[in-house]
Structure 1
Amino acid sequence: MLSSNKEEECRSMTYRRRNILYLIEKYLEENGFRSIANILQKEAKLLQDYEICDNVDLDSIYLEYLSYYKIKFGKYPQVIKKIKDPVKVTISNISKKTPPPSKKEETPQEPSSPELTDALRIIPVSHEHGDGFVKGAVRFAAIEGTIDRCDLFFLPEWRDIAESIQSTIVKKTFNVGWNDVCGNSKAVKILRESVEIPFKHPDLFTDVLKPWKSLLLHGPPGTGKTLLARITCSESLGHATFFNVSSSMVTSKWRGESEKIIKVLFQMASHYNPSIIFFDEIEGLTSKRDRISDHEASKRFKNEFLQHLDGLEETKGIFVLASTNLPWEIDAAFLRRFERKVLVQLPNVDERVKLFEKFLNDLLVKDKERLHIIAEKCEGFTGDEIRIVCKELGMKKINMVYNSPSKSASISYDDLLNLVETVEPTGGAQIEKFIEWSKKYEK
């Protein structure tokens, strides 16, 4: 009985060593070390009748080990370390002693190869609080050199992902503020509670009372969801790192690549905290998982995304802001993870008057009475549709000046009214569906 157990143990050990050798051989070939791979194949007598399965490689095994160690011990393992005093072994012929080189003859030294750990270094962002929000130049995070306290970026593939995510950090102000919003006071209130107050007065929050960590803006196209994101970015400059993430940035055609990208994104946001991650048109990434047409790779990505939004590891200092025109297409698990869901409404009459005054600028002499009459006829218009009407009126004046330079170009409120009557509003037909949906989730 004992002998059979020993034989089985030896057999399993042999299989394990053989599989490890095959994995090493494939890794060497994929990274360009073909001569070393051929030597290993001959020395280990590896047969060509076997090949590695498509879902197994050394990189994935290494990353799974890092994740397991992090969950179990709360930190990443130290796989290699630099030798402080390396011992150099030289073989010399005692009978034939070569004279030492003269001082004049300097032996050329080969350029030292970079250390394996010289992959990436993340310089933390300086979030210095001033008297108000910074509107000018701000020092942002930069990725360069070697990595600091983040073992996930050790491999070259992680470094490439981090460099691509680096490009999503917004480094400029859009010159807009909370005063530029017409209406939607509820959305503005929640955004300021989530972004402005925690950064300016962190002492108001405790371990029990924490600021909002996620917000979903939904509503018809053109109501100002992206404008609210721009204002949030401008108002948070100097206090937080703003990641503007698109669907194309976090999706890839390669197997397992999308999961790596979303993981690195949240790791970088955690390192640069406080951070804001903005997902525009998020329904493309968070659609329902029970659809028959949904691919296995898409389900794996969504599961990874859910883990980072609200998983075992708590994400501190990260605020997730998202916008969508199709909230009913989002999976229920993602909806649960958004703490607040706010409907971005259509402007009312008074707000439409303010929008006309803003977009018309100096095209017409301001007449609030006439503007109020026109605004009443714009029921169901979105803010963007009002902007387009005013732009069309401005282009009409430009064409008049261009075609008849000698004549004075003049436009009137009647021209504006005629343009308004030619526009078919899109928001009015959709807003009822959004209001009905929001009753289920909004507080």
Structure 2
Amino acid sequence: MKSNNKKHESQITCNKSKNIKSESKKEAKKVIIQSVGYPFNFPLMEAHNLEISDKKLFEHYSKEQWLGCDVKKGSYLFDQKILPDYGFKVLEAFPDASIIGENTSIILKTEENIVNDIKSISTDITLNDIIGQEKAKNKCKIVMKYLENPENFGEWAPKNILFYGIPGTGKTMLAKSLANELNVPLYLIKATSLIGDHVGDGARQIHDLFEMANKTSPSVIFIDEIDAIALHRKFQSIRGDVSEIVNALLTEMDGINDHEGVVTIAATNNPEQLDYAIRSRFEDEFEFVMPSFEERVIMIEKFISTMPFEVEVSSKKLAEMAKGMSGRDIKEKLLKSALHRALYEDKEKIELKHFEDGLNSYKSKNESNKHMFA
């Protein structure tokens, strides 16, 4: 009778990995769960609003009964000890479709942390998708080697990297491809989102961000538009008081808390405007440059291959027209603009005049912006 109860308990609690295919699954680094209550609504069975007084103790308690369980986003786990059959929904598992192991971090999502939820993002972008930027891609090799074997580097780890260059040249794409190639979590955050309504909000988000990256290391943190919070002191008044956010970031970047297996990448279009206290923390800087003629040809051919209409203009002609444009502007301001103009005119082909009109509109807007900020 005892063995039957044990078998029943195992089946209700979770699906244990017993077959060969399941045993090959990776151990989850992080599992975020949310209490959802009981599956049935009996009069004597009320839902509980769980309050966790000791997070580490709850994690130990959970791991003890769910060790070896399959977890994936949207699946459920059931308690069989203090609150029998009480349900928890898996909100996120990294990697997805993995198993709970000895080193898995189990986090119960509560109303307290629901506002500042930090999630890793997934992408299918590869290094081959990035055309050009060969110097930056080559310099990324050391970062990749570190993330593959963090324990081999010790104090020589490449921890803080600055990506800088003209907008639309592939800074965010390279960070995404780096994480995707190595199958590690990427935590992408815009620095502007750190400037909250209340004092201390941004600093807390910084610490939470690095704590989450540590729990799921090896991992990558990507802070976009870092100049929004790390402007030179003479520009600080433009953005308001962000000293607490900057101090929190400096604390984490200085490695006062050991972040083995975590690489912080920040991106900016204006490196010369960064405060020296922040910029000096970056061990290396990767410059992103405008595409060459040959690179523009390759980009345009790749973009055109996915367009719904035939293009009557050669890729080399378009590459000449796109001189001085970033990869993003080529796609959005030249090609997409021409496509939409052809659609307006009910054309079945994209003609030269459509590209010329789009290019003229792009140039006139750029000129007006220059005069506005001159």
TM-score normalised to structure 2 length: 0.63
Q: Which string of whole-angstrom CA distances, capped at 9 and with x for unpartnered residues, describes residues 78-111 of structure 1?
A: xxxxxxxxxxxxxxxxxxxxxxxxxxxxxx9xx9
The equivalent position to 2:145 in structure 1, one of 190, 194, 197, is 197
Q: CA deviation at 1:328?
A: 1.9
Q: Which string of whole-angstrom CA distances, capped at 9 and with x for unpartnered residues, describes residues 344-398 of structure 1?
A: 111110011111111222544687xx43233223221111221121112222333
Q: CA deviation at 1:142?
A: 7.1
In the alignment, the residues of structure 1 paired with residue 156 and residue 236 of structure 2 have an alpha-carbon distance, to the nearest angstrom, of 41
- Equivalent residues of 2:227, 2:274 under 8 A apart: yes
In the alignment, the residues of structure 2 paired with residue 411 and residue 356 of structure 1 have an alpha-carbon distance, to the nearest angstrom, of 14
Q: CA deviation at 1:299?
A: 1.7
Equivalences for 1:178-327 in 2 at 5 Å? 178-194=127-143, 196-200=144-148, 205-207=152-154, 209-210=156-157, 212-237=158-183, 240-247=184-191, 249-289=193-233, 293=237, 298-327=242-271
Distance change in 2, residues 1:411/1:259 (3 Å): closer
Q: CA deviation at 1:236?
A: 3.5
The equivalent position to 1:399 in structure 2, one of 344, 348, 358, is 344
Identify unmatched segments of 5+ residues in structure 1.
Answer: 1-107, 127-135, 147-155, 402-407, 431-443
Distance change in 2, residues 1:200/1:176 (3 Å): same
Task: Give the CA RMSD over aligned residues.
Answer: 4.0
Q: CA deviation at 1:229?
A: 2.6
Distance change in 2, residues 1:176/1:318 (3 Å): same
Q: CA deviation at 1:209?
A: 4.3
Secondary structure at the counterpart of residue 349 of structure 2: coil
Secondary structure at the counterpart of residue 333 of structure 1: helix
- Greater strand fraction, Structure 1 or Structure 2: 2
The equivalent position to 2:280 in structure 1, one of 311, 336, 360, is 336
TM-score normalised to structure 1 length: 0.54
- Equivalent residues of 1:255, 1:297 under 8 A apart: no
Q: Which string of whole-angstrom CA distances, capped at 9 and with x for unpartnered residues, describes residues 199-221 of structure 1?
A: 44568x443643x2121111122
Distance change in 2, residues 1:160/1:360 (3 Å): same
Secondary structure at the counterpart of residue 217 of structure 1: strand
Q: CA deviation at 1:228?
A: 2.0
Between the two proteins, the alignment pairs up a number of residues equal to 284
In the alignment, the residues of structure 2 paired with residue 115 and residue 416 of structure 1 have an alpha-carbon distance, to the nearest angstrom, of 60
- Equivalent residues of 1:214, 1:320 under 8 A apart: yes
Instruction: Say yes or no: does 1:345 pair with 2:292.
Output: no
Secondary structure at the counterpart of residue 266 of structure 2: strand
Amino acid in structure 1 at the alignment position of 2:161: L
- Equivalent residues of 1:263, 1:308 under 8 A apart: yes
In the alignment, the residues of structure 2 paired with residue 112 and residue 324 of structure 1 have an alpha-carbon distance, to the nearest angstrom, of 44
Q: Which string of whole-angstrom CA distances, capped at 9 and with x for unpartnered residues, describes residues 310-347 of structure 1?
A: 14333221101111122222110111111111221111
Secondary structure at the counterpart of residue 254 of structure 1: coil
Distance change in 2, residues 1:285/1:422 (3 Å): closer
In the alignment, the residues of structure 2 paired with residue 219 and residue 112 of structure 1 have an alpha-carbon distance, to the nearest angstrom, of 49
Secondary structure at the counterpart of residue 337 of structure 1: coil
The equivalent of 2:75 in structure 1 is none
Of the two, which has the highest radius of gyration?
1
Secondary structure at the counterpart of residue 424 of structure 1: helix
- Equivalent residues of 2:312, 2:352 under 8 A apart: no
Q: CA deviation at 1:225?
A: 1.8
Secondary structure at the counterpart of residue 181 of structure 2: helix
- Equivalent residues of 1:280, 1:324 under 8 A apart: yes
- Equivalent residues of 2:232, 2:276 under 8 A apart: yes
